[in-house]
């Protein structure tokens, strides 16, 4: 059973790789395209996967950031993400994992309550972003944000590390929630 | 009308409690903002819903009085609080609304050939349609047609029915000020044109706003679980679910019907705490149905959207249409 580990490979020169995991191929593809359109000093590589574990016979670069995409309209996508989380090593959760919830805008279509995803992100101590990936105007800022996060996780931003970023993101939320 | 609040209290951030002390005489708007912030800034423990053991409806005896509400399809709307609505002026309101409807119909906005323009509007209170004592009384509006025929028994045919109610609206009632009556749920049965006319009159007279209430898949699965949980002596209809599969060009509908006793047996095996329904139990109930379906048809129902739930007790559609089929005594 292959488990993803953050430091088991050598980093590529000026390369930053993100892995997007989610059940909805179309949404992931659109997000990947938006990210690649962004201006970035590093070379960006975006990998898409429906679920983990990843096939072991492929030669892939070191993964710097994993984003799990949950569609609030589909319970299946939530279950898929929960299953995939088991194939990620614990050390990845030190700032190199994030959750993205899409579909909160259309409340009438939601099968998953947003608090379920919030609780999931809390359990894994990782940041959660909400974004309607289907809407172009909302997707572009999130893509920008992800590119910035990716650069930090790949170590391309001097003075800020992934763990540093994680603690910055956490301190802006209500401290009472830390007890959960 | 309940939300996902925990019954217990949460640890308050020191800054926000200082802020509260500063605003001693908090206006209703501030109270409203505070309660909205409270709801969004903490995560509740798995939502639980208590099954009300004894509702006001049973206490105010006569189930016959509300029997006319059964077996009708109601379209749901959500309503903002009514300004300066008084339960003592109901006769006045019926007069004003009749005049308004007559005027609208004569304007030609709702012209129906052969329709009798002699209509009568009645406003009446529905006793007992509330969750707690604090809830405002529910009231009913009916549009009746006065028969033109000079016959002995002048039967008033009911053309349109609508009723307003507030059930367990505690979290809303806290933030509403004196002049407002909070009846957030409006149910309408009858022609769409009449609903629109009545809606316009209410919006003009009481400065409120109607918006159609959609029921999302999450809430429909809760309804399915809670209605299946009802103990019944005999079952009238099968328990049916309808899912909509988003695919182009036309969406596909999947209908799944279960024998009601099997559904009840499944629920009983999942249900642990008496008198309370938890999120985990609802999820488990639905997951059992999904996995059974997957085993036979290899389709993941959890990736589709639940659109309609129908049990012997009641049925609900995502567009905001419900029908209550049974008047339960237990």
- Contact status, residue A30 vs residue A69, Cβ threshold 8 Å: no
Out of B42, B302, B305, closest to residue A176 by CB? B42
Of B41-45, B242-246, B305-309, the least confident: B41-45
What is the C-alpha separation between B261 and A68, in angstroms, rounded?
Answer: 40
Look at residues A85, A164, A178, A72 and name the one whose alpha carbon lies nearest to residue A125: A178
What is the C-alpha separation between A89 and B6, in angstroms, rounded?
Answer: 34
Q: How confident is the model at residue B279 (pLDDT cuts 50, 70, 90)?
A: confident
SS3 letters for B54-112? CCHHHHCCCCCCCHHHCCCEEEEEEECCEECCCHHHHHHHHHHHHHHHHHHHHCCCCCC
- Condensed to tens digits (0 to 9), the pLDDT of residues A3-19 reads 888 888 888 889 999 99
- Strands (DSSP E) contained in B104-216 are 119-126, 138-145, 157-165, 180-181, 185-190, 210-212
What is the helix (H) or strand (E) element at residue B240, kind and residue range?
strand B239-245
- Condensed to tens digits (0 to 9), the pLDDT of residues A92-147 reads 999 999 999 999 888 888 999 888 899 899 999 999 999 999 888 999 999 999 99
- Strands (DSSP E) contained in A23-154 are 43-49, 65-71, 97-102, 128-130
User: For position B2, what pLDDT does the model report?
Assistant: 42
Out of A108, A176, A180, closest to residue B13 by CB? A176
- Between B201 and B56, name the one with better pLDDT: B201
Q: Is the pLDDT reported for residue A175 higher than 70?
A: no
Look at residues A112, A104, A109, A72 and name the one whose alpha carbon lies nearest to residue B251: A109
Instruction: Identify which of A105-114, B162-171, B204-213, B317-326 has the greatest average pLDDT.
Output: B204-213
Percentages (nearest 5) of helix, strand, coil residues in chain B: 35, 25, 40
| Cα B103-B80-B129 angle, rounded to 5 deg | 90
Out of B12, B286, B305, closest to residue A109 by CB? B305
Mean pLDDT value of segment B168-184: 84
- Distance from the B303 Cα atom to the nearest Cα atom in chain A, whole angstroms: 5
| Cα A159-A165-A168 angle, rounded to 5 deg | 115
| Cα B76-A72-B240 angle, rounded to 5 deg | 50
Helix-helix angle A136-153:A162-171, to 10 degrees: 130
What is the C-alpha separation between B51 and A92, in angstroms, rounded?
Answer: 43
Q: Which residues 57-116 on chain B approach chain A with CB closer than 8 angstroms?
A: none
Q: Is B305–A111 a contact, with Cβ atoms under 8 angstroms apart?
A: yes
What residue of B is the nearest CA neighbor of A117? B43
The CA–CA distances, whole Å, from A1 to A52, A86, A91 equal 10, 11, 17
User: For position B20, what pLDDT does the model report?
Assistant: 47
User: For position B153, what pLDDT does the model report?
Assistant: 55
Whole-number average pLDDT of chain A: 89
A173: DSSP letter = S
Sign of CA dihedral B173, B176, B181, B184: negative
What is the C-alpha separation between A48 and A28, in angstroms, rounded?
Answer: 7
- HSE, side-chain direction, 13 A CA sphere, residue B35: 16
Residue among B305, B306, B308 with most chain A CBs within 10 A, to mutate: B305
Neighbours of A160 (CB within 10 A): 15
Q: Is A108–B214 a contact, with Cβ atoms under 8 angstroms apart?
A: yes
Three-state DSSP at B205 gives helix
B276: region left, alpha or beta (phi > 0 left; psi from -120 to 50 alpha) = beta
B245 strand-pairing partners? B252
The CA–CA distances, whole Å, from B312 to B58, B271, B328 equal 20, 19, 11
What is the C-alpha separation between A128 and A65, in angstroms, rounded?
Answer: 14
Residue among A24, A76, A107, A109 with most chain B CBs within 10 A, to mutate: A109
What residue of A is the nearest CA neighbor of B291? A76
Does residue B3 belong to the interface with chain A, where contact is any CB pair within 8 Å? Answer: no
Mean pLDDT value of segment A36-60: 89
ipTM of the complex as predicted: 0.83
In chain A, count H helices and then E strands.
Answer: 5, 5
User: For position B48, what pLDDT does the model report?
Assistant: 58
- Contact status, residue B308 vs residue B241, Cβ threshold 8 Å: yes
Mean pLDDT value of segment B47-74: 64
């Amino acid at each position: 059973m292959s488990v993803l580990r953050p430091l088991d490979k050598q980093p590529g020169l000026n390369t930053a790789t993100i892995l997007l995991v989610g059940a909805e191929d179309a949404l992931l593809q659109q997000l990947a395209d938006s990210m690649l359109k962004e201006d970035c000093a590093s070379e960006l590589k975006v990998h898409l996967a429906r679920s983990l574990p990843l096939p072991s016979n492929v030669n892939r670069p070191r993964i710097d950031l994993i984003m799990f995409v949950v569609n609030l309209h589909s319970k299946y996508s939530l279950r898929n993400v929960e299953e995939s989380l088991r194939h990620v090593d614990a050390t990845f959760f030190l700032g190199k994992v994030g959750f993205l919830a899409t579909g909160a805008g259309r409340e009438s279509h939601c099968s998953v309550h947003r608090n379920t995803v919030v609780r999931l992100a809390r359990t894994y101590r990782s940041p959660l972003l909400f974004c309607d990936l289907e809407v172009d105007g909302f997707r572009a800022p999130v893509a920008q944000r992800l590119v910035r996060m990716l650069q930090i996780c790949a170590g391309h931003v001097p003075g800020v590390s992934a763990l540093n970023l994680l603690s910055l993101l956490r301190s802006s939320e209500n401290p009472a929630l830390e007890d959960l | 009308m309940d939300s996902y609040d925990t019954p217990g209290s949460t640890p308050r951030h020191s800054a926000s409690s200082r802020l509260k002390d500063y605003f001693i005489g908090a206006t209703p708007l501030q109270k409203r903002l505070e309660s909205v912030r409270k709801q969004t800034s903490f995560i509740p423990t798995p939502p639980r819903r208590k099954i009300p053991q004894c509702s006001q409806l049973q206490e105010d005896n006569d189930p016959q009085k509300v029997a006319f509400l059964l077996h009708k399809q109601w379209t749901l709307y959500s309503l903002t609080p009514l300004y300066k609505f008084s339960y003592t002026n109901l006769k006045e309101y019926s007069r004003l609304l009749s005049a308004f409807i007559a005027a609208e119909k004569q304007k030609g906005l709702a012209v129906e050939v052969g329709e009798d323009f002699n209509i009568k509007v009645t406003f009446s209170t529905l006793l007992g349609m509330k969750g707690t004592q604090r809830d405002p009384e529910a009231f009913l509006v009916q549009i009746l047609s006065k028969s033109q025929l000079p016959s002995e028994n002048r039967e008033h045919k009911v053309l349109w029915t609508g009723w307003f109610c507030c059930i367990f609206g505690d979290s809303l009632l806290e933030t509403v000020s004196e002049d407002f009556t909070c009846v957030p749920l409006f149910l309408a049965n009858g022609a769409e044109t009449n609903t629109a006319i009545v809606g316009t009159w209410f919006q003009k007279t009481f400065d409120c706003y109607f918006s159609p209430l959609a029921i999302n898949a999450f809430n429909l699965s809760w309804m399915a679980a809670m209605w299946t949980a009802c103990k019944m002596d005999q079952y009238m209809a099968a328990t049916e679910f309808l899912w909509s599969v988003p695919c182009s060009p036309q969406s596909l509908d999947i209908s799944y019907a279960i024998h009601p006793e099997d559904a009840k047996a499944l629920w009983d095996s999942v249900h642990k705490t008496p008198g309370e329904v938890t999120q985990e139990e609802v999820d488990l109930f639905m997951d059992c149905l999904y996995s059974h379906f997957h085993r036979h048809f290899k389709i993941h129902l959890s990736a589709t959207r639940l659109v309609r739930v129908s049990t012997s007790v009641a049925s609900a559609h995502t567009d905001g249409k419900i029908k209550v089929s049974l008047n339960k005594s237990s």
